[in-house]
Structure 1
Amino acid sequence: MESSKQDRTVTLEIDGRQRSFDIDDPRLPDWVQDAALASGGYPYDVKMNKDAYKKALEALQIELVKLQFWLNASGKRLIALFEGRDAAGKGGTIFAIRAYLNPRSAHVVALSKPSDIEAGQWYFQRYVQHFPTAGEIVLFDRSWYNRGVVEPVMGFCSNEQCARFLEEAPRFEQMIIDEGIYFFKFWLNIGQEMQLKRFHDRRHDPLKIWKLSPMDIAALTKWEDFTRARDRMLDKTHTPHAPWTVIRANDKRRARVNAIRHLLLSIDYDGRDRDAIGEIDRNILDHGPALLA
C-alpha cells in the first residue's frame, strides 16, 4: 500500500466544485463526512436503527433458511448477481444472505480476472460453469456485467466487445429464465461522497485494507465515466424477463433488508411468512433506473 502522497492525492469535481482528496491522510475531510449519507439523492437523514436492523435481519434469515429447504426439496435453482460501483456493499449483502444457509448448496462466486485460456473462450463460458445444479443457490459477487461497466471504463475491452456484450446479455439471460432458474440482478447504487468515505475507511482499517485495490484508486477520477457506462448498460439490459433491481445503498442496513425482502417475496416457497418478511421500501428499492442519480 506504500506510495507517494502525490500518487494518491486526486482532484475531483463534485457538484461543480473542485475537491482534493488524499486517501492516505487518516483524517476524513469534513466535506466527505458531512455529505456521505445524503450523496446521490439518498432519501433518509439517518441510518436504519441498529436494533431494528438486527431484528428484521434475523427474521429474514429464518425465511432464507426456509427458502433453501424448499429449493433442496423441489430441485429448483436460484441465481442472484450483485453489481454496483466499488464499495457499494455487494459483498456485505451477499454475506447477510448466506450467513445461515448450508454452504453445501449456497455458493458465492467472485471471479478474478480471466486466465489466458478463459480470455480465449466465449465470454459467458467461465460464468456458466458456476451455475447451480438442482436445489442450489449461487450468488455472484460481480458477474458477466464486468464487460458492461468496469471493462470499458478501465480499458480492459474494446468498444466493439462491450457493444456486442450488451446485445448478447439479454438473449443469454432469456436462456437462464427458460431453464426455469430463479434469476435476480441487483444494482447497488451509492453516492460519490459515500464511496470516498468507504474507500477511506478501508485504507485506514487493518482488517479491511485488503479490499482496497490499485484499480479502486485508479477509478477515483472516473466517476462520470462509470455513470455513463452504468446508464448505457441498464438501458440495454433491463428487460421484462430479466429486470434490474436497483437499491439505494448508502445505508447498508436498509440495502440488505430490502434486497432480501425482494428475493423472498419473489418466490412462493413453502411456509413463507409474509408478515415476518415485511414490506419493501420503495424509496430504497425499485426496478430499472428510477432510483438512480
Structure 2
Amino acid sequence: MKLENFKTMWGFEGDFKTACIQAKKEGFEGIEGKAPVDNAAREYWKACLKKYDLAFIGEIVTGGDYVPVRHHTLQEHIDDVKRGIENALVLNPRFVTCIGGYDAWREEESIAFFKTAIALAKRYDIEISFETHRSRSLFTPWITERMVQVIPEIKLTLDISHWCVVSERLMDTELDTIRAIAPHVYHIHARVGYAQGPQVAHPAAPEYKEALLSHQKCWEIIWDAQGSNGMKITTMTPEFGPDGYLHTLPFVNTPVADLWEINCWMAKSEKKHFHTYAQKGA
C-alpha cells in the first residue's frame, strides 16, 4: 500500500496555481478543497491540476456553512450534497469527502441523510466519504460506531482531532471503537488534537509528543484495515488550519507557527511514519 498526501485549501488565500506549485514542490500528490461555484473558476482549477499532475479530492459542506445553520432541513443538507458533487465532478475527483449532517439530529435523521447521500453519489458514479467532525452527525466515536453498524456501506473520512475535543481525551483510550470503525475509513485528515482543543500549536513540539503518538497509533489501525481490504493507495490530508484552530499570541493575535510549514512537516513526518509502518509488515 502507498500513502499519498493531499494539500488542503483550507486557510490558503492565494491563487490556485500558486497552491498547485506549492503542493508539487513539497511532494504532495494532490489537493483537497471545495470546488468553485463559478464554472470559469472550475475550468481554471482543472487546467492547473492537469498542468501540475495533481489529483483532486472534492470537499462538500452541508447545512449552509462549516458550522451548520441550526434550522436547515434534512432536504437542504441533501441539496448541498447534490450541488457539491456536481461542482466537483468537473475536476475529475478521486472521490468527495463530506462534512455533513447535524449533531442535534435524532439518529434516525442522520441515518436517512447518509443513506440518501450515498444513493445520490452512486447515481453520479462517485465515492462519497463522510468526515468525523464535531457539530455534525459523526461527532463522537460511539455514534459513528453505531452508524457503521446500521449502514455497512458507509465510508468515513477520519479526523479524530474533533473527537479529542468532544470527549476531552486522546483517542488511544478508545482503541476498540477505532478498530470497529476502521474497515469503513476511506481517507484520513491528519490534524493532531489534544484534550482541550482540535489542533496542537505544532505537532513537532515535545510537549505534544503524547498527542502525536496517540493519533499515529490510531492511524496505524486504519492502515491495517485498509491493507486487509486490499486498498493499494491510502490518502491523507494534513489539515492544520486557521479560524481559531491556529494558536495565536494574546492581545496581538500573532500566529505562533506558520500554517503551511506545519502541514508540510506533518506530510513529511507521516511519509516517514508510513514507511516505518510498512517495513514492519514486510
Q: Considering the TM-score relative to the shorter chain, is it more than 0.5?
A: no
For normalisation by structure 2, the TM-score amounts to: 0.32
Could you tell me the TM-score, scaled by structure 1's length?
0.31
